Amino acid sequence: MQKIIVSTLFACMATITTAQIPLVYQQENMGRHLAKTRLLPPEQLPFIRTLPDALEGVSHFADWEWRRNVISSQIQHYGIGEKPEVSTEQIEARMDGDTLIVDVTVNGQTLTLRSVIHYPETEEPAPYALMIGTSMISLPFQLFAGRPIALMTYHEKQVNDYGQWGEHHERGEHDFDRLYPALKDNGAYSEWAWGLSRLLDGLQKLGPDVTKIDMSRIGVTGCSYAGKMALYCGAFDERVALTIAQEPGGGGAAAWRASHESTKRVEDLDKTDYHWFLESQKEYFHGDSVYRLPYDQHELCAMVCPRALLLLGNPDYEWLADESMRVSAEAAAKVWERFGIADRMGWSIVGGHGHCQLPESQWPEVQAFIDRFLLGRDVDTSNVRK
C-alpha cells in the first residue's frame, strides 16, 4: 500500500518532540484531505494470519495521520459502514436551559439530537471538561464528584432506534436513513459514531460562552455494547481527548483473529449482533476468512492515538473475550510507544465484580486518566497495564 499524500499540518513534524504531540485536536476526521485508500474486493485480499501491522509505512509521527486514515477507511468499508461528513452549514445548535439541542439537516431531512448537560457543583469557573456517556455513564459517580467535569448522556436511539433490548426498526427504517438512504446497509456503530460527532459539532458551534464546555477536554465512555460504541466514537473523532471503553467485548477492543482462535465461548466475528456491523462483514470474513480482514480491532484502538485511551475488562465474563482484548491492547500500545507517549494508553482487566460494575480496586487507575486527560493535572498514568 503506497502512501500518496502526507498532511501539510504534520509535514514539518518528522522531528517533533514528545511534548509537542497534541493531546487532542479541534477537528473531526483530520485525514479528510488525504488521497483515498485503494480498497480491494474481499476475495482479492491476502490471508494475514498474524495481526496486521498498525504502523505499516510509518517512520515518523508525521506519517500517522495518513496511516490512521487508511485504517479508518478499511474499518468503514469492510466492517461498520460509512460515517458521512457533515458541514458546519448543516448544523444548527441551541441551548434550552441545560439541554443541548442539535439539528442536523441533510438532503432536506432533519434529525434532532437532545442531551442534558449536568454541570458540576464546584467553585471552579467554567468552561468545564465534559464526560459523555454512550447510552449511560456506568463509571461510579464518585469518580466525578467534586471535580469540574460536566456529565452528559448520548442517547443513541435518537440516531437509530436500535437498542440491545426491546422492539426496534430494521435497516432502512432509522432516522439516520432518512438523511442517508444510500447508507441503509450501515452498521449501528458507524451511525452512532456519526451522532456523537454531531453533538460535538453543536458544542463547538455554540462555543464555551454558551455551553460552559471546554472543547479541548471532552471524554467519552460506555460499557458492554455501549463500550464498543464509546470506542468507535472516540476512535472516529479527534476532538475526543479521552476514551474509556469499559468491558467492550468482541467487536470492540477484542481482536477478531484472537477470538476466532480461542477455545472459549466468546463473542467473535461469527457470533455478534449484526445490527451493529455491515452484514457483508460476516459474509466475507466468517470462519477462517477472518484472516482476509485487512485490519483488526487493535487498529481501531490505535486510531485513538495520540489521544488517551483506557480499556477496562472483566475476565469473569467469558463472552467478553478479554484475552483477545489483551492481545489487541498490547499490539495497539506499540503505536503510542513508537511516538514516546506510552503513558496515554492503558488497560486494566480485573475480575471479582458484576458486569459494568467497576470495583473500587480499579478506581485509582480510572481516576488517574480522568484527572490527567480531562483536567490536565500532573498525574502518573504510565503503569496502568495489567
Taking only the tens place, the pLDDT of each residue in 294-350 is: 999 999 999 999 999 999 999 999 999 999 999 999 999 999 999 999 999 999 999
pLDDT tens digits for range 95-126 = 999 999 999 999 999 999 999 999 999 999 99
What average pLDDT does the chain have?
93
Query: Please, which pLDDT band fits residue 14 given cuts at 50, 70 and 90?
Result: very low
Q: Is 197 a catalytic residue?
A: no
Is residue 165's pLDDT more than 70?
A: no
Is residue 359's pLDDT more than 80?
A: yes
52-77 mean pLDDT: 96
Domain edges within the chain: 18-373
Is residue 3's pLDDT more than 50?
A: no
Contacts of 360-365 spanning 24+ positions with Cβ under 8 A: 362/312, 363/140, 363/142, 363/143, 365/310
Bigger pLDDT: 4 or 233? 233
Catalytic residue, candidates 73, 135, 190, 224:
224
The predicted structure's pLDDT at residue 294 = 98
pLDDT tens digits for range 16-27 = 788 899 999 999
Is residue 13's pLDDT more than 60?
A: no
Lowest-pLDDT range, 1-5, 137-141, 363-367?
A: 1-5
Is residue 2's pLDDT more than 50?
A: no
Q: Has domain 18-373 been given CATH number 3.40.50.1820?
A: yes
Is residue 5's pLDDT more than 80?
A: no
Q: Are 345 and 253 in contact (CB under 8 A)?
A: no
The predicted structure's pLDDT at residue 172 = 72
Q: Are 134 and 229 in contact (CB under 8 A)?
A: yes
pLDDT tens digits for range 249-296 = 999 999 999 999 999 999 999 999 999 999 999 999 999 999 999 999
The predicted structure's pLDDT at residue 177 = 95
Query: Please, which pLDDT band fits residue 15 given cuts at 50, 70 and 90?
Result: low
Residues with Cβ within 8 Å of residue 123, at least 6 apart in sequence: none
In the chain, the amino acid numbered 20 is Q
Q: Is 355 a catalytic residue?
A: yes
Is residue 134's pLDDT more than 50?
A: yes
Apex 317 CA angle, 314 and 320, nearest 5: 80
The predicted structure's pLDDT at residue 173 = 76
Q: Are 334 and 55 in contact (CB under 8 A)?
A: yes
The predicted structure's pLDDT at residue 35 = 77
pLDDT tens digits for range 183-205 = 999 999 999 999 999 999 999 99
pLDDT tens digits for range 172-185 = 778 999 999 999 99
Is residue 6's pLDDT more than 60?
A: no
